[in-house]
Chains A and B, each alone.
Chain A
Amino acid sequence: MNIRTLTFKGGTHPPHSKKATEKLAVQAAAAPKVVVIPMQQHLGAPCEPIVKAGDEVKLGQKIGEAKGFVSAPIHSSVSGKVMAVEPRLYPGGTAVICVVIESDMQDTLFEGVKSYGSLDNLTPDEIKNIVKESGIVGMGGAAFPTHVKLSPPPGKHLDAVILNGAECEPYLTSDHRLMLEQAEKVVFGLQALMKAAGVKKGYIGIENNKPDAIEALYKASQGIEGIEVVALHTKYPQGAEKQLIYACTKKEVPSGGLPADVGVIVNNVGTAAVIADAIREGMPLVERIVTITGAAVKEPKNLLVRIGTSFKEVVEQCGGLVENPGKIIAGGPMMGIAQFTLDVPVIKGTSGILILSEKEARLPEPSNCIRCGKCVDVCPISLMPINISAFSLQDKFEQAEACHAMDCIECGSCSFVCPAKRPLVDSIKVAKREIMARRKKAQSSQAKG
């Protein structure tokens, strides 16, 4: 195997904590009796429900229509009867309109679910359309609609697709297992993405703490022109889009710009796999692999879960909890969102359900900044988190902006590494929100004037 090992500047080394599930094959979760499917699972405009209480729906049938370009339709993950269309809590932390479906446990397939045949017979536009109609979004967590990435703004020329198999978040192993068990599907998805984007070069970047996945994808991509598997140093946040692009191509995405500005689009390996399913089986995005782990979970697992299954049901299939949870997190421990209940559904972006013990979840008391500069050393954007944080805490948002607060990718490396346990990224997020609000205000007052 002739594989390059690459990385980016800065970053930190949280403990991997992947032992519990990295050797466990993905199992299909028990089919849920009821699914709660939010109409907002992606970045962008929410979907409009196109079914109402009492309607019969089938597996794979569209139930939410995308409104706006940056949006992705939503499909039913079971066959059965719509019980309600109403606001429910979802892992984003708020209540959004959800379609609640009682499954008939038949999994009757929707008539429209049909194979699109081989990649050779599809044009780039047809592939883009399949991706769009199948409701495919980034499976890494941010859930950005994939067809939008495939349609860069006019004038931007693409020359490479990068698949993100870094999985730099501790604890999570869903991408790792996917790459091991479905390497061929990932490569097929990458070929589809390359064809849709009209590029000849494809990278698959994988952290070198997963040598078996690197080998699997290297083998699966043998003999396919233009695809290179690259090993990445195991360092957080290696899977952050701009850092991954830099590692693979040594190009810096300009501040405030898009990967397309350097001719690249990045997709998660999970996204490539669901694109393969969409093309070969016609199956829209209705299920995903979720790592359920953490010290409070009895039997950590990697499960293939239908979208809309409640966290509670998924956790019960892992033997339940061994102790009262310290914290329930949708996603990984570095960027995941803490939940205040288990009564939320798994959505397209749910890569993991992490349940920490009370001991692990305990927050340390912050003390005086000692100016050690470790936050400066680890910041992958080469910002000075300490300065932005200090300005934010004093409500000096203009100064925070001058320190490039808006370039922060919120990876949390600074908070993680701080010996004084200062919640640096929290105050930077506050500054970003405040700066955004002020910009909007300035814009609207300009429009009025």
Chain B
Amino acid sequence: MELGRFLVSPAPHIRSGESTQRIMLDVIIALLPAMIAGVWFFGINAILVTAVAVVAAVASEAVMQKYVLKRPVTVSDLSAAVTGILIAFNVPATLPLWMVALGSIFAIVIVKQCFGGLGNNFINPALAARAFLLTSFAGDMTNWVAPGADAVAAATPLGLVKGAEAATQALPSLMDLFIGNVPGCIGETSAALLLLGGLYLVYRGVISIRIPASFIATVAVLTFLMGGFDASLAAYHVFAGGLFLGAIFMATDYSSSPMTPMGQIIMGIGCGLITVVIRFFGALPEGVSYSILLMNVATPLIDKFTIPKKFGGVKKSA
């Protein structure tokens, strides 16, 4: 029996079928229902914005890696595509396309690649891009339109609750909020379809339920208490705005959220707390994205203080 060349390496000698690419593909699959809803409610513009955001994100990552960092190009891991979709989900469908592209480039080049690429960004790139766009182009970023073909200018439900906008518009029904038939960013309006995507991610083991559940529960409980024990107001706060998008898809970003089970619950509660504080006391109608960005910054600290108790940490008998 003559043997040719073969491999000698340390154990384990088999690996699971999981891969970064498969995880990112699962996230894209989970985002699809809400994306279709976005197109249904906001029309062809939603498709254009999403396409531009994805192309700009992927292209800027490829250019950055190949020509600036001179490293292997890793766009096939699909993480840049996910960032692109999430940026599109976080802007109104009316946003000029060059601003969309600028947001993607900012997310990938500054927030992701300048800090070491995938896994090393300390805040969520898509949310950082949203904050960047909101600060730079406040008017365009809040140019909401009602769903439908006419694209009538309208206020978001949270804007109405806050009373900041024209009060001539009636508050949409809870059902419209749940299915997403309200003004807002492309991907944030349909709580039902975002939830569907979230359930898929939990089923696939991509995310744990800890962050989304504790985030949404905190918002529900706090708005119920602070709104004077008004269950319908609490339900309104839960389904309106970007809470489901933020809790399921943004706060669970691996690189910028804690890895420990306890840390993930703290992350969710912290996000919920800051969201409610901004919505009730802040100048802005919506606080989900800033709450996540703030908790992103706290993540290394949370991870450090929530290291799980190791097995065998019991006292040794004498």
Interface residues of A (CB under 8 A from B): 9, 12, 14-15, 155, 170, 242, 246, 252-257, 261-262, 312, 315-316, 320-321, 324-329, 333-342, 354, 356, 358, 360-364, 367-374, 376, 380-384, 386, 403-404, 407, 410, 412, 415-421, 423, 425-426, 429
Residues of A within 8 Å of B315, CB to CB, are 254
Query: Are A336 and B117 within 8 A (Cβ)?
Result: no
Task: Select which of B4, B13, B310 is within 8 A of A336 by beta carbon.
Answer: B13
Query: Are B16 and A329 within 8 A (Cβ)?
Result: no
- Please name the residue on chain A nearest to B24 by beta carbon: A370
Query: Are A327 and B259 within 8 A (Cβ)?
Result: no
Q: Mark B247-262, 1 if CB is under 8 A from A, else 0.
A: 0000000110001100
Cα–Cα distance between A429 and B254 once the two chains are bound (Å): 26
User: With A327-B13, A361-B13 in contact, is A257–B18 under 8 Å at CB?
Assistant: no
- Please name the residue on chain B nearest to A10 by beta carbon: B311
User: With A170-B14, A361-B7, A384-B307 in contact, is A419–B312 under 8 Å at CB?
Assistant: no
Q: Is B68 an interface residue (CB 8 A)?
A: no
Interface residues of B in 1-44 (CB under 8 A from A): 1, 3-16, 18-20, 22-23
Query: Are A361 and B18 within 8 A (Cβ)?
Result: no
Query: Are B14 and A14 within 8 A (Cβ)?
Result: yes
Residues of B within 8 Å of A333, CB to CB, are 11-14
B3 to chain A, nearest CB (A): 6
Cα–Cα distance between A256 and B286 once the two chains are bound (Å): 51
B306 to chain A, nearest CB (A): 10
Residues of B within 8 Å of A419, CB to CB, are 16, 18-20, 22-23
A283 to chain B, nearest CB (A): 32
Residues of B within 8 Å of A368, CB to CB, are 20, 74, 116-120
Q: Is B316 an interface residue (CB 8 A)?
A: yes
- Please name the residue on chain B nearest to A381 by beta carbon: B311
Cα–Cα distance between A341 and B3 once the two chains are bound (Å): 9
* 17 new A-B contacts at CB < 8 Å, known A257-B317, A368-B20: A256-B316, A257-B312, A324-B6, A338-B9, A338-B11, A341-B3, A362-B7, A368-B119, A376-B259, A382-B309, A384-B260, A386-B259, A415-B15, A419-B16, A419-B23, A421-B19, A429-B10
Task: Select which of B13, B116, B311 is within 8 A of A338 by beta carbon.
Answer: B13
A-B contacts, 14 of them at CB < 8 A, read A14-B16, A242-B311, A324-B4, A326-B7, A335-B12, A336-B11, A339-B8, A364-B15, A367-B74, A373-B259, A382-B308, A382-B310, A417-B16, A419-B19
Query: Are A367 and B316 within 8 A (Cβ)?
Result: no
Central interface residue in B10, B11, B22, B254, by most chain A CB within 10 Å: B11
- Please name the residue on chain B nearest to A426 by beta carbon: B10
Cα–Cα distance between A360 and B17 once the two chains are bound (Å): 12
Task: Select which of B7, B117, B307 is within 8 A of A363 by beta carbon.
Answer: B7
Interface residues of B in 261-318 (CB under 8 A from A): 307-318
Q: Is B77 an interface residue (CB 8 A)?
A: yes
User: With A242-B311, A339-B8 in contact, is A324–B3 under 8 Å at CB?
Assistant: yes
Query: Are B23 and A312 within 8 A (Cβ)?
Result: no
Cα–Cα distance between A418 and B14 once the two chains are bound (Å): 11
Cα–Cα distance between A262 and B315 once the two chains are bound (Å): 11
A411 to chain B, nearest CB (A): 8
Query: Are A261 and B316 within 8 A (Cβ)?
Result: yes
Cα–Cα distance between A380 and B312 once the two chains are bound (Å): 10
Cα–Cα distance between A23 and B16 once the two chains are bound (Å): 26
Task: Select which of B11, B18, B118 is within 8 A of A335 by beta carbon.
Answer: B11
Residues of A within 8 Å of B79, CB to CB, are 370
User: With A368-B120, A419-B23 in contact, is A255–B13 under 8 Å at CB?
Assistant: no
Residues of A within 8 Å of B77, CB to CB, are 367
Query: Are B20 and A384 within 8 A (Cβ)?
Result: no
Residues of A within 8 Å of B6, CB to CB, are 324-328, 358, 361
B20 to chain A, nearest CB (A): 5
Cα–Cα distance between A155 and B317 once the two chains are bound (Å): 10
User: With A321-B1, A364-B15, A368-B118 in contact, is A383–B310 under 8 Å at CB?
Assistant: yes
Cα–Cα distance between A277 and B311 once the two chains are bound (Å): 37
- Please name the residue on chain B nearest to A296 by beta carbon: B6
Cα–Cα distance between A356 and B12 once the two chains are bound (Å): 13
A260 to chain B, nearest CB (A): 10
Query: Are B15 and A416 within 8 A (Cβ)?
Result: yes
Q: Mark B71-108, 1 if CB is under 8 A from A, else 0.
A: 00010010100000000000000000000000000000
Task: Select which of A329, A372, A382 is within 8 A of B311 by beta carbon.
Answer: A382
Residues of B within 8 Å of A252, CB to CB, are 311-314
Central interface residue in A242, A360, A361, A419, by most chain B CB within 10 Å: A419
User: With A361-B6, A370-B119, A419-B23 in contact, is A381–B1 under 8 Å at CB?
Assistant: no
Cα–Cα distance between A254 and B15 once the two chains are bound (Å): 30
Query: Are A376 and B19 within 8 A (Cβ)?
Result: no
Query: Are A255 and B15 within 8 A (Cβ)?
Result: no
Residues of B within 8 Å of A426, CB to CB, are 10
Central interface residue in B4, B8, B19, B254, by most chain A CB within 10 Å: B8
B173 to chain A, nearest CB (A): 39
Task: Select which of A342, A374, A425 is within 8 A of B1 by beta carbon.
Answer: A342
Query: Are B312 and A363 within 8 A (Cβ)?
Result: no
- Please name the residue on chain B nearest to A404 by beta carbon: B310
A371 to chain B, nearest CB (A): 5
Query: Are B310 and A369 within 8 A (Cβ)?
Result: no
Query: Are B316 and A334 within 8 A (Cβ)?
Result: no
A137 to chain B, nearest CB (A): 20
Query: Are B14 and A360 within 8 A (Cβ)?
Result: yes
Residues of A within 8 Å of B307, CB to CB, are 384, 403
Query: Are B8 and A367 within 8 A (Cβ)?
Result: no
Residues of B within 8 Å of A403, CB to CB, are 307
Cα–Cα distance between A403 and B313 once the two chains are bound (Å): 12
B43 to chain A, nearest CB (A): 35
Query: Are B7 and A242 within 8 A (Cβ)?
Result: no
Query: Are A425 and B12 within 8 A (Cβ)?
Result: yes
- Please name the residue on chain B nearest to A430 by beta carbon: B10
Residues of A within 8 Å of B16, CB to CB, are 12, 14, 416-419
Query: Are A325 and B3 within 8 A (Cβ)?
Result: yes
Task: Select which of B1, B20, B313 is within 8 A of A367 by beta carbon.
Answer: B20
Cα–Cα distance between A374 and B20 once the two chains are bound (Å): 12
- Please name the residue on chain A nearest to B309 by beta carbon: A382
Residues of A within 8 Å of B314, CB to CB, are 252, 254
